[in-house]
Structure 1
């Protein structure tokens, strides 16, 4: 991918990631929580079961996943749901939101044991047929393109463009509609806006408000009114320049969860969180599950389980960096692992 003139940052990211996911194996460059341990998917399955149990009996459910990677998370979830709640399993239809044909094939292979279920693929969340839905999205939002704005003066802004493998600034007259611009911003501050992500969350929240159901988003990001340049690129497990050799690295940015929560609440749907991944998994019973697995494991397997727990919940690893937010229809109770008082959740 080459460009002979400045290209707006979000357009650059979109093109670079489309090239990357279209022809590279992203799991050679990074590892996600479902690939670290089966316990992650098992606990998410318990969350799904408990949410569905809080819905009217017999409700036919679309169990959807956005950004499903190799299908590991859904495979682990379905294994637990089939074993623990066969009635829910039989009432589910599975949908993957995935644009990569190569990854779709891997997802088909991962779910080869579930031919008794209806399994479909869509390019967007919006395309999913209308009915009550539980949607899981782990490390989905972070790959969506962002725009970056720099405050030059009290009423003057510039926007970042990519030109000749570096960022340049161009004046901008109109700022996008985003909650972050309502926060106190100082001269020289960099503000990131993910318009695509905000639109996805708004549409999804409106759908959940109308059709019923819930969504769970797990991603790295922040839950306070902070900003700055969070764009990064990973290739071969190492951080590299986002602007050199586009399409060869995975480009991501941290999620402004506070903005997304504000957008959800404006639709009439309910938003819960923002939890850290560590607290979320501990409340769902990670330590108990690890103890059960370790009881029948070899010494080597016990060490692997311990290492997986550390990576998933320790503040120095994924525990604090990754945040969790839930969206539910207004008729559902507070979902599992979000039972703290809502004012406490708002302060997380």
Structure 2
């Protein structure tokens, strides 16, 4: 990320933020408050100044670090899982190996390397990477082509991936999709909007019109006290419906890994992250990563309605342990230096411990009806 000593690059970042923030304020001045969903959509995926459209946010130099960037073991476990699914499916050739939001291509590279342990899997794989960011697509293509020896097919949305037998990964993908927020007022539920405070010119949250579609709010949350906030993610459900239909008709399995809650609940989870620190979501749109906890209960319910098998959600730590990540860590440590051993064990504990990512992060699996998938089939 830029700083004042970076010259032109820093100026470019400031201009982008100013342009996006000013543009949103002009839109609000002309048309009135915008929804949290639309604000988040523009801040993350606006075609010119959206956060994901103009930079690489991953790793030490970015705003956050995901599991694949911490250790090769994470991608290896998912690759083994995918290869086992493929074998159980009857070893279809070809099989689509799909990743949603592939980061820098690290997970897919590690997964396919580990998948070589299953004869025929890598040769049968047709890799598809679903990514909206031009900058990240270039990085992903280079990383996977260099490490796997196959140039991945790039798509902007899952609907553009051809139908066929499929193994799919989505790690920290759903948390970055735009959400809607609803706030309970004395007069009932209203969609939460974003306006501009006249005196300061700052973005502020305001209640919008009352909710007309009563099905938006779960029945057991209708009578909560004023001030309560409920979040949903329409795009996440669209994606789950598409994936479930593919699995039901063509076979395969999908793995969703993210942080979130396993039950319908109230509470605001929208947050901003910049330079590995929390950041106000209403300040500097376009330079801040915006995320929200994934509602795994909603994803699971949606998938079941489409007629596929649903496993989980289960804690990430338990899932990785049952796949053998602990044994893999000890295997890597046998031929490592003392410093490397420390890094291996630190990464393992960060991904699996209950007070780190092991419980907050959860794993949800969708599978074609009757398909046995690890570790639930073990």
TM-score (norm 2): 0.85
Are 1:63 and 2:97 counterparts? yes
Question: Is the contact made by 2:311 and 2:365 (CA closer than 8 Å) also made in structure 1?
Answer: yes
1:118 deviates by 5.6
Counterparts of 1:101 and 1:225, CA distance in 2: 35
Are 1:103 and 2:124 counterparts? no
Q: Over residues 255-275 of structure 1, what are the superposed CA-to-partner deviations in whole Å (9 max), with x where a residue is unaligned?
A: 110111011111111111011
Residue 200 of structure 2 aligns with which residue?
Answer: none
Residue 189 of structure 2 aligns with which residue?
Answer: 157
Are 1:337 and 2:348 counterparts? no
1:307 equivalent among 324, 346, 349: 346
Counterparts of 1:267 and 1:305, CA distance in 2: 40
Residue 232 of structure 2 aligns with which residue?
Answer: 193
Residue 219 of structure 2 aligns with which residue?
Answer: 182
Residue 52 of structure 1 aligns with which residue?
Answer: 86
| Higher mean C-alpha displacement, 54-63 vs 241-250 | 54-63
Question: Is the contact made by 1:93 and 1:118 (CA closer than 8 Å) also made in structure 2?
Answer: no
Counterparts of 2:237 and 2:215, CA distance in 1: 10
| Higher mean C-alpha displacement, 183-192 vs 40-49 | 183-192
Aligned length: 336
Are 1:253 and 2:253 counterparts? no
Question: Is the contact made by 2:183 and 2:190 (CA closer than 8 Å) also made in structure 1?
Answer: yes
Residue 34 of structure 1 aligns with which residue?
Answer: 68
Extract structure 1 runs of 4+ deviating beyond 6 A: none
2:54 equivalent among 23, 33, 53: 23
Alignment of 1:205-220 (within 5 A): 205-220=244-259
Residue 75 of structure 1 aligns with which residue?
Answer: 109
Question: Is the contact made by 2:113 and 2:148 (CA closer than 8 Å) also made in structure 1?
Answer: no
Q: Over residues 183-224 of structure 1, what are the superposed CA-to-partner deviations in whole Å (9 max), with x where a residue is unaligned?
A: 334122211010111111112112211111111000000012
1:182 deviates by 3.0
2:210 equivalent among 141, 151, 172: 172
For the aligned residue pairs, the C-alpha RMSD in angstroms reads 1.6
Q: Per the alignment, in what secondary structure is the counterpart of residue 160 of structure 2?
A: coil
Counterparts of 2:119 and 2:141, CA distance in 1: 21
1:172 deviates by 2.4
Structure 2: which 5+ runs fail to align?
A: 1-19, 197-202
* Change in CA separation of 1:145 and 1:58 when aligned onto 2, cut-off 3 Å: closer
TM-score (norm 1): 0.93
Counterparts of 1:134 and 1:39, CA distance in 2: 19
Counterparts of 1:176 and 1:196, CA distance in 2: 19
* Change in CA separation of 1:176 and 1:131 when aligned onto 2, cut-off 3 Å: farther
Counterparts of 1:273 and 1:26, CA distance in 2: 29
Counterparts of 2:65 and 2:81, CA distance in 1: 22
1:227 deviates by 2.0
Counterparts of 1:290 and 1:317, CA distance in 2: 17
Q: Per the alignment, in what secondary structure is the counterpart of residue 112 of structure 1?
A: helix
Structure 1: which 5+ runs fail to align?
A: 341-348
Question: Is the contact made by 2:191 and 2:208 (CA closer than 8 Å) also made in structure 1?
Answer: yes
1:53 deviates by 1.0
Counterparts of 1:100 and 1:57, CA distance in 2: 32
Alignment of 1:89-100 (within 5 A): 89-100=122-133
Q: Per the alignment, in what secondary structure is the counterpart of residue 145 of structure 2?
A: coil
